Amino acid sequence: MTQTPLKPLYGPVAEDMILVEDVLESIKQVELAPLKRMLDHALEARGKRLRPALVLLTGNLGDYNLNKLVPLGAAIELLHTASLVHDDVVDGALSRRGRPTTNAVFDNAITVLLGDYMFANAAEMVTRTGSLSVTRLFALALMKMTSGELDQDAAAFDMGKDVQQYLWRIGGKTAALIANATEGGAVLGGLDEKTVEALRTYGYSLGMAFQIVDDILDYTGDEELMGKPVGSDLLEGTVTLPGLLFLERYPGTTRSSGSSPPGANATCDCRKRSERSLHQTSSKLRWTSPGTTSDGRTPPWMCFPPRTRRIAWRTSASTS
């Protein structure tokens, strides 16, 4: 994966970003050996540290108090990493940033617990700012992120969503935390309300643009350069902006027609064809769980991504 030089991105706070790294490194210092191994793995693959850099940069516009800004920057970065740990479990992802995901190396159940530990650690860290308003903003950002992720998971293979619903979703799952970084840094810097709001809007807009570009790259990107599989959104049934714009331009291409009542969620034809194929293959077998059959054989849907497996298993079970 191609690495971007980071100092030019950090500008006047480049030298202080090492303080954020020190705080994140200290999280790994735990007595429980299995937890330490998991933290080492989860925190080893560092990204560009965009979010903590934005905290310091916005704080630098006012009272540049590193005793407050560094804990917030580290907390937001840790929250971001914890959300990725949970996302990889939900999606069944095996690689991220060119490395095996935590759930690919360790058991899914304890990986979820690792994410919980990191969330709790981030919450404790943000209290070190001594600001109740910043702590509240942090909690609200987490709520928005979770709502966005829940909406994405619930809308899998749903062709009935439109661009406005997509924008709401990415506003929660991505833009909310980047907006939290710029707004929180501004609040800790003691900037006036108008400036704080302007910086929050900037962070939100940056987060929206970031996610839209990421969704486009899921169609057009190079896996080696990106450090993660391309096309994963489509495989998981997540319809992003390129797909939605395609459906708007060619409304009869992949939407179901005929039997669906007005307002019903449309389903992509490829999913219907997959389900029909699964039903034909499984008509003589009785499935006992998503990963096993009554005679010990591996069901055909195990070649699908995890979320698709669950949908196929539920559909087959309901018709058996």
Is 259 inside a domain boundary? no
Q: Both 288 and 213 in a single domain? A: no
Which residue in 199, 201, 220, 219 sits closest to 209, CA to CA?
201
Tell me the pTM. 0.76
> What pLDDT score does 250 carry?
81
Beta bridge partners of 293: 287
Instruction: Kindly give the residue spans of alpha helices, DSSP state H, lying in 98-192.
Output: 102-105, 108-126, 132-154, 163-170, 176-188
Is 250 inside a domain boundary? no
Q: Both 82 and 146 in a single domain? A: yes
**Structural domains counted in the chain:** 2
Q: Both 204 and 274 in a single domain? A: no
Is 1 inside a domain boundary? no
Domain limit, last residue, from 188, 217, 235: 235
Cα 82 from Cα 227, distance rounded (Å): 18
> What pLDDT score does 19 carry?
97
Is 263 inside a domain boundary? no
- CATH (domain of 164): 1.10.600.10
Domain limit, last residue, from 193, 211, 235: 235
In the chain (320 residues long), the average pLDDT of successive 10-residue segments reads 66 94 95 94 87 97 97 97 89 78 88 94 97 97 93 82 92 96 98 97 96 91 70 81 87 51 40 39 37 48 45 42
Longest CA span, the chain: 71
Domain that holds residue 231: 7-235
